[in-house]
A and B are shown apart, each in its own frame.
Chain A
Amino acid sequence: MITQNSPALIPVLYLAASMIIPMVGYFRPGASYAIALLTCVAVFGISLMGLQEVMANGAISYHLGGWMPPVGIEFVLDPLSAFICVIISACVLMVMIYARNNVRQELPGSSIGFYSLSMLFLGGLAGMAITGDFFNLFVFLEVAALAGYGLLAIGTRRGPVSAFRYLVLGTAGAIFYLVGVGFILMATGSLNMVDIGNILPHAEYQRPVIVGLVFILLGIVIKMGVFPLHHWLPDAYTDASSTATTLIAPIGTKVAAYVFIRILTVYEFPPLMDVLCWLAAASIIAGSILAIVQNNIKRMLAYSSVANIGYITLGIALANPMAFIGAMLHILMHALMKLVLFAAAGGMLNNMGTVNISRLRGFPTVMPWTALAFFIALLSMVGIPPTGGFFSKLYLIWGAIEADAWIFVFVIVFSSILGMVYLFRVMNIAFFRPYETADDKKITQSFALTVTSPIESIDESSKQFETMPRKEMGLLMLLPVLIVAVSIILVGIYNGPIVHEVISLAVPEFLKPAP
C-alpha cells in the first residue's frame, strides 16, 4: 500500500510538513523541530521501501487524480529517481539531527521559519526527482529555488545580498527552462517525458526541439552552477548560516544534475554533448584552481562544489555506461563529503569563532572528532582509497577511456592533484604549524598535543601563547557528522554491491550499447 503510493508520498509529506510546522509552531515553538525530524525519518523509510520495491519489481508509476499519463501528471519512481530520493532523504535526516542546536544558536527566533522553508525546499527537490512531466518539473524547480533563496538569506548581514544575486540568476535559469519546454511543446504537443520520447523521432520539425533543448540545458546549467555561470554559488554558500549551507550544498545542485539526465533520456543531441563535456572540463579545472586561492573554508568548499559538479556533468555528458555509473556514484559521494565538510565548518565557526584557513592552527586538538571526520571527507574529495571519492573518480576515468577522450582523463587526474594542493594546505596549517604567530597573537592550542622536540622547545618557552581548551561539538551535532564520515569509507569499500545492484539498474536505455 505504502510502496505503491510512495512516488506521491515522498514530496507530499515534505510539503505537508512545511504547512503544518508554522501552524503548530505558532502555539508550540518547540514542536516544529519534532515535526521536521519525524517527517525526515518517515520519508527516509518510505524512500528505502520504494527503492527496494523498484529494484525487485521495476518502476512504480503514480497517476495524479487518476488521469492517465499523456494527459495527466505522472510521478515515476524508477531505479534512478529512487536512488536520488534515498540520497536526498538520508542526507536531510542527518542534517536535521545536526540542525537542532545549531539553529537555536545561529538563528534565534527564526527556527520555525527555517524548518518550514527547509521542508518546502525538500518537497521541491523530491518533486523534481520524481515527476515525469516537464511543466510539473518547472513548478517543483521554482518551489525548491524560492525556498532556497529564503534559506540562504537568513543568517548573516550579507545573506540577503547574495540571495538576491542567486535569485536573479536562478529566475533567469528557470525562465530559460520554461521557454525551452515551450519549444518542445510546439514540436510535439505533449509534456509527458515518456510520451515526448516516443513522439520526437517522428516529429515533423526537429529545429524547434534542438532550440528548446539548448534553452532547457542552459537553464539547468545555471541551476547546477557549472563554471561560467557559477557566480551565485560561492557567495550564497558563504554568506548563509552554516545549517542552511549544510542542508543545501550536498543536494541542491545534484538534483539539477539529475534533471539534466532526465532530459537527455528524452532526446540526445551529440554536438551539444561535446560542448557540455568541455564546459564540464573547464568547470573542474577552474573550480579547483579558485578553491586553492580562497582563505575562507566555506568559500573554498563552495568552489570545490563547482569542480565536483563538473565531474558529474562530465560523467553524464560522456554518455557511456561506465561514465554514467561514475557520475551517479559521484552524486552520492559528493553529497556525503559536502555534508561532512560543511557541517564541520559550521562546528568550527561555533566553537573556534572562525572559518579562516590561516587561523585553523591547532584545530584538531580543540575538536579532535570533528577533525577526524573533516579529514576523512577531504581525503575522499582528493580521491585517496579506500574512501568513496577514489572509486567514483575511477569509474569516471574508466568511462573517459572507454569514450577515447584522453584529454578528459588528464583533466580528472590533474584536478585531483590540484585537490591535493588545497587539502594539504589545510592539513599543514591545522596539524603541523601549531606555534607560529605570524599575524595573530591568539593561538588555539590545547595541552593535549604539545610536542616536545628539543629544537622547538627552546623557541616555545620564549613565546607567549593563549591556550584553548578542548571544545568538541555537542553530541547531537557530532553524531551525524561521524556517521556520514564512516559511511564515506563504507561506501568506498562496498562500492561493488552498490554499483551492481542499484546504479547499473538505473543506467538509462540510450546509454546501453546496441545489441
Chain B
Amino acid sequence: MLELIEGYYAHFFLMLLFVIGLYAMMMKKNLIKKIFGMSMIQSAAILFWILVAYKEGATVPILDPGISLENPDMYMNPMPHTLMLTAIVVAVVTLGVAIALAIAVYRNYNTLDEDELLARIKEEQ
C-alpha cells in the first residue's frame, strides 16, 4: 500500500482535493459551499496539469549558458504552465458567473439553502 503512494504524494493529494471538491458540489446544501467545491476541483485540475510538466532535476525553461542546447531534458516543459494561465482565467470567469447566479437566486427567493429553495419553489406553483 505504502509503495503505491511513495513517489506519488502530489498525485494522491490532488486526487483527495478533487474528491473533496466533488463531495462539496454534490452533497452540500448551501449554494456558496457548492461554489467552493467547484473552485476546489478547478484548482485540482490546474495543479494536475502543472504536475504533468514537472521533471525531476529539471530547471526553468530559460536558456542557460551552463546547459547545452543538445540536452532539452534539463528544461521543464513550459507549455502546460502557459495553458493553465488560460484555464485560470476560465476558472475565474466561471466563479464570477456562479456568484452572479447565486445573487440572482438570493434576490428571487431570499435564501441560499437548497432544501428551503425547493420548498419555496414548490410553494409558488
Contact = CB atoms under 8 A, between A and B. Distances in A.
Contacts of A153: 101, 104
Given A149-B101, A150-B97, A161 B22 contact: no
Interface string B38-74: 1001100100110010000000000000000000000
Interface residues of A, number: 27
Given A149-B101, A171-B38, A185-B52, A160 B108 contact: yes
B98 interface: yes
Contacts of A164: 31, 98, 101-102, 105
Given A138-B90, A168-B34, 7 more contacts: A142-B90, A160-B104, A164-B31, A167-B94, A168-B25, A179-B45, A179-B48
A441 interface: no
Contacts of A175: 41-42, 45
A186 interface: yes
A84 interface: no
A153 B18 CA distance: 28
Contacts of B86: 135, 139
Contacts of B38: 168, 171-172
A182 B54 CA distance: 13
Interface of B: 18, 22, 25, 31, 34, 38, 41-42, 45, 48-49, 52, 77, 79-80, 83, 86-87, 90, 93-94, 97-98, 101-102, 104-105, 108-109, 117, 121, 124
Interface of A: 135, 138-139, 142, 146, 149-150, 153, 157-161, 163-164, 167-168, 171-172, 175, 178-179, 182, 185-186, 189, 191
B66 to A, nearest CB: 25
A164 B108 CA distance: 13
B87 A138 contact: yes
B83 A135 contact: yes
Those 7 A-B pairs whose CB atoms lie nearest each other, nearest first: A160-B104, A164-B101, A160-B105, A142-B90, A178-B45, A175-B45, A186-B52
B11 to A, nearest CB: 11
Contact of B105 (A146, A161, A171): A161
A161 B52 contact: no
A191 to B, nearest CB: 8
Contacts of A157: 108, 124
B52 A172 contact: no
A146 B94 contact: yes
30 contacts: A139-B86, A139-B90, A142-B90, A142-B93, A142-B94, A149-B97, A149-B101, A150-B97, A153-B101, A157-B108, A160-B104, A161-B108, A161-B117, A161-B121, A164-B98, A164-B102, A164-B105, A167-B94, A167-B98, A168-B34, A168-B98, A171-B38, A171-B41, A171-B94, A172-B41, A175-B45, A178-B87, A179-B48, A182-B48, A182-B80
B94 to A, nearest CB: 6
Nearest to A177: B45
B80 A185 contact: yes
Contacts of A160: 101, 104-105, 108
A171 B21 CA distance: 12
Nearest to A187: B52
A138 B88 CA distance: 12
Nearest to B98: A167
A132 to B, nearest CB: 16
B77 to A, nearest CB: 8
B42 to A, nearest CB: 6
Nearest to B87: A178
Nearest to B121: A158
Contacts of B41: 171-172, 175
B87 A161 contact: no
